[in-house]
Structure 1
């Protein structure tokens, strides 16, 4: 079995190539349909490939993984989508949810933020849910599944930290009525923090001490240059 460093290099290379292929296909489809081209996604995929060409060990951020060792409860065809032994749903779909006779539940996520943002979070959340099911069922998690489960848990956590931090900033910005959208006490109640802790954290964020992956969240938006930047 390859050592940890080799496995990491291969996983990062595979992920970057996979994302580049997805991005190119999406770009071609958009061009065929006359829709706007997602130039941010193209630049992100190119940056990942450039980074890996320089250092294959580099841990690039917006990547979609291909797993070779799948959980027992469902066969997979690609990422996210499930292929079931029985093609009929146990119950009629209810909104975004479908219940299958083999015990699997499918939940459809909707996003417009493209492959770099919406797809990436959905992909990592899918991995985490599979890990939860496997751990609860006492199912063996081996090979690439364990490697990617640990990796995706970490990546999703860092993305969520960036989203939480940006929401704190957003909540304290003035809304349409000219007042902060949410008081510190309400922010603290939602985050399980004392309002003084929220105030201190907001102060650090506003001064430019951002979450490590803020760039991933706000790149290409009007927020990229706010609070000292980091979003280009």
Structure 2
């Protein structure tokens, strides 16, 4: 992709170095965008390494500096606020330091990145912002902190959708259900009764894959999806239906 093409079609994916974020970044790369991954670690995929920016997205100042540098070089019209950590704990065990960590990384980074990249979208009269949230916004045990952050992202997305609609910028959420990532298997060991119970409760009778989420994000990022905003699409194998 030449420089002119990159200027026309640039996407930033936070937390895109592995798992769902990497699948999203690779799909957008396949869709023809110049993709910039922002993550604390280097991307696992070789095709994403050259343009990647290593940054601790929980550090607001560092994140702002990186996003401003990107905004100076590229006209970013797609932003996927994907980064997130879980910190599972029952209510009585939830720690205030984890609350701060999750709010700073999962929520504040989305605000910082969007504010930095928004001027280019407004200037072009077109933009796509996608939040990667979670089906836990509907409730899940041991997810007090995580669900709070994902619920905050969905609430912000609905507000931004109204504020930015006149500029041709859409804001939507993709909310994954059980997806087979390293984080999922870390919290739910494959041979555990908990993992078996989760899979048995999925109507489609299989775990979702990172590519399932990436496909939904790709749809919302498409220029032809311009009449959809403020919405949440659950990619959950039917878990949220019942």
Structure 1 length as normaliser, TM-score?
0.30
Structure holding more strand per residue? 2
Structure holding more helix per residue? 1
Larger RCO (alpha carbons 8 Å, 6+ apart):
2
Report the structure number with the largest CA radius of gyration. Answer: 1
Structure 2 length as normaliser, TM-score?
0.29
